[in-house]
């Protein structure tokens, strides 16, 4: 049995400053990214916090209406993040503090504008929940592959707002899905490091980083700093 991963995003225990910069309570002005894994203590917390970190590196703050959170299909409600996951985040200079696990609920899927899952099984579980989730749910690596095929010049400029740009990115990725298939089934998987040594956690962290970098660049229109 595959064991857990953990995540609380902005909107769940965030600071007052984060609430202000993400316009909580103004759905039309927000874009909510939901990362999903199994227990919400390893993969999805790493992905959630790295997304926040990389966006803030590019934009200065995690603002402009982006909300990033996570949950688990077998989420350990209230559980802390795995210690090795915290170490991986520290390696990247990302903040692991204040994180508690959540079980994936219908409301999380309903509110999400983009759902990025660790595996194809997670993707299938999210889509099976309904709520018209099919066109906005991808595995992380699948979404990266699609984003890499999108010409950035076809997306709205950041001056129009990161929310408008993000919505256009999801629509473009969904339109490409049937045309750009994975070379192998395993190509779209991020494997579970739960219970593994730190070296394996770090390899998973590197995989997540490599997958997130082009996604965050496409979202923000700003490449990573060299």
**Which tens digits make up the pLDDT trace of 63-81?**
678 999 999 999 889 999 9
Torsion sign over Cα 110, 112, 114, 117: negative
Mean pLDDT along residues 87-109: 97
Instruction: Judge whether 32 and 22 are in contact, CB under 8 Å.
Output: no
What is the average per-residue pLDDT within 166-173?
97
pLDDT digits (tens, 9 = 90+) for 12-71: 333 323 322 332 333 458 999 999 999 999 999 999 999 999 999 988 765 678 999 999
Mean pLDDT of the chain: 87
- Under the banding of pLDDT at 50, 70 and 90, the label for residue 178 is confident
How far is the CA of 34 from the CAs of 54, 66, 118, 153, in angstroms? 16, 11, 11, 26
Both tokens of residue 21? 């910069």
Residue with tokens 């939901």: 34
Contacts 24+ apart (CB under 8 A), 14-18: 14/98, 18/62
Model pTM?
0.86
Report pLDDT digits (tens) over 188-204: 999 999 999 999 999 99
- Give the closest residue to 92 by CA, choosing from 189, 214, 185, 224: 224
């Amino acid at each position: 049995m595959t064991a857990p991963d953990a995540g609380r995003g902005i909107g769940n225990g965030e600071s007052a400053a984060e609430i202000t910069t993400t316009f909580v309570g103004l759905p039309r002005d927000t874009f909510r990214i939901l990362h999903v894994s199994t227990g919400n203590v390893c993969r999805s917390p790493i992905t959630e916090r790295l997304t926040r970190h990389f966006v803030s590196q590019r934009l200065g703050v995690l603002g402009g209406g982006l909300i990033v959170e996570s949950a688990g299909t077998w989420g350990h409600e209230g559980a802390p993040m795995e210690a090795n996951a915290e170490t991986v985040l520290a390696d990247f200079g990302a903040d692991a503090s204040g994180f508690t696990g959540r079980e994936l609920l219908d409301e999380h899927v309903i509110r999400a504008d983009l759902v990025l899952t660790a595996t194809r099984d997670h993707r299938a579980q999210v889509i099976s929940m309904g709520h018209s989730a099919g066109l906005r749910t991808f595995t992380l690596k699948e979404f990266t592959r699609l984003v890499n095929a999108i010409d950035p010049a076809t997306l709205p400029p950041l001056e129009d707002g990161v929310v408008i740009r993000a919505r256009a990115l999801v629509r473009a990725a969904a339109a490409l899905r049937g045309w750009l298939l994975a070379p192998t089934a395993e190509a779209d998987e991020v494997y579970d490091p739960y219970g593994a040594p730190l070296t394996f956690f770090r390899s998973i962290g590197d995989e997540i980083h490599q997958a997130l970098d082009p996604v965050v660049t496409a979202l923000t229109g700003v490449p990573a700093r060299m």
